[in-house]
Structure 1
């Protein structure tokens, strides 16, 4: 009889403990699957060189961080590498998701897309900007020779070399090789071995998939203002007031960094480049992202395509028949 009572009390104790743990867990994680607590407090802008990234980072992130209460951190890759080893990816993810003293955080740097979910962690908010691939390459080519208006006194690696892009292309020079154009696809493809293989169809496919599924928003250089407007209404805890701030900047701040001298290529060079497979793939990716952004922007503005309308747009949904829980 005594044993039966003890057994009953023991069972009740276990049941109460389980019930307590269940209630505690439900209160802490109401969706039953515990969300990664920092994912929406981290924005990663894995910026691509010569796409307007300096303007965006300085005129938006560094100007707004105090007002909106977030931290800006630069990811500086050793020797300008774009990819990390698998162990380095783990350390990076662990650092940015557990460094609570620096949350919320806006990370930016020239680094390929890192998939946090491969390590069992929710992805942060990814954003990026891309540029028409030949325009980007031309800007980079002449930047190496003439520099820009951002760091005027800094001598660039090709300073004194006045060879035009046409001349370089006609002799098959390294700086104008189409391998140098294979840039935006690898940044979006990520850290798989095929991402850096020039002309890889698999890399193009992965880049499109990531741009579509892993990034909140990818804009284009020529529509930076539209992107800023969208970010303000979709990530307000980082970008509140961003459009108004951008619009009141003077011309030098709104176009913070531009190459001092660029010579457009002639029609013969253009014709040859347009037939190149690498250019065709990079252009295909650019067109894909541009069309995706355009569709998102038109939907958000209800067809007006005016950035200023975004903050005034009424909700396109409402709730009905709300029942008590």
Structure 2
């Protein structure tokens, strides 16, 4: 029997498939939800008292458990997750494991004694939020149409105006939709996917530090979408049980294209000043991704 990517989000059909001995069942990704599970006491106890001021340096240490059958990919939205999920589906057949999906960084000691293997992939925070902005304006989505209708009911024409407004206009007009003030709760950002399920793990210095600490202590690989070939090489080196021949399989995929929306340098500077925690985490991850690749 092959290894498994385990998870507690299962369906009746999945349970039936397992009862029938099908170990290659694929559960399609669910929509990202707000985290609600508080961390267990032993996880909280490991958080340093001086976390905010702690110097956390990126390292290329391989933390992959050699015995774990749990692989967790808590995908960050707009970071190539559709292509990565398809890659995992294909690898699950080739490398004999079953594939399911999860969300935020979860305190697995609460649910399992065996330490899981954590991986993730990120991209430039500004590019990610630009893509997220236009994804909310996808006319093929009923949610977009509902939002337009809702706004038009409140103020005639405002929904249409919202739909046609560019990201640059949104930023330069300081619209709340495009403001990312430190300390304010925003689950569209990258940090909540790494900082855990603490009340403070949202968008401030503490959350940034917690995200770095989790990446250093818990994650086997956090890759960078802009360096996907490099990321796949590191995954194959650090997590061969699941990512053997990943680069070859990925090259055979019909990639889902991502529309590029360029922003001016002025807008990028405004965004960088507001997203300094996100940018710092991205640079931190990029260093980690680069180091082991040198030895691949």
8 Å CA contact 1:39–1:125 kept in 2: the answer is no
Alignment equivalent of 1:114, drawn from 106, 109, 117: 106
Partners of 2:264 and 2:138 lie apart in 1 by 20
Q: Where do 1:166-315 residues align within 5 Å?
A: 166-178=168-180, 183-196=189-202, 198=203, 200-249=204-253, 253=254, 255-259=255-259, 262-276=260-274, 279-298=275-294, 300-301=295-296
8 Å CA contact 1:130–1:221 kept in 2: the answer is yes
Q: Give RMSD over aligned pairs.
A: 2.5
**Equivalent residue number for residue 132 of structure 2:** 140
Greater share of residues in helix: 1
8 Å CA contact 2:233–2:293 kept in 1: the answer is no
Q: Which runs of 4+ in 1 moved over 6 A?
A: none
Deviations 1:25-83 (A, max 9, x none): xxxxxxxxxxxx9961110000000011111111x11112122111111xxxxxxxxxx
Deviations 1:117-161 (A, max 9, x none): 3667232000000111111000111121147xxxxx544526761
1:43 matched to 2:71:
yes
Any stretches of 5+ residues in structure 2 without a counterpart?
1-64, 149-159
Q: Where do 1:20-59 residues align within 5 Å?
A: 40-58=68-86
TM-score (norm: length of structure 2): 0.65
**CA 181–173 in structure 1, closer or farther in 2 if over 3 Å, else same:** farther
**CA 274–237 in structure 1, closer or farther in 2 if over 3 Å, else same:** closer
Larger RCO (CA under 8 A, 6+ residues apart): 2
**Equivalent residue number for residue 129 of structure 1:** 121
Q: Report the CA distance between 1:172 and its aligned residue.
A: 2.5
TM-score (norm: length of structure 1): 0.60
Q: Report the CA distance between 1:257 and its aligned residue.
A: 4.4
Q: Report the CA distance between 1:295 and its aligned residue.
A: 1.0
Aligned residues: 213
Partners of 2:288 and 2:134 lie apart in 1 by 30
**CA 181–116 in structure 1, closer or farther in 2 if over 3 Å, else same:** closer
8 Å CA contact 2:79–2:225 kept in 1: the answer is yes
Any stretches of 5+ residues in structure 1 without a counterpart?
1-36, 74-107, 148-152, 302-325
**CA 272–239 in structure 1, closer or farther in 2 if over 3 Å, else same:** closer
User: Computing the radius of gyration over CA atoms, which structure comes out larger, 1 or 2?
Assistant: 1
Partners of 1:38 and 1:293 lie apart in 2 by 20
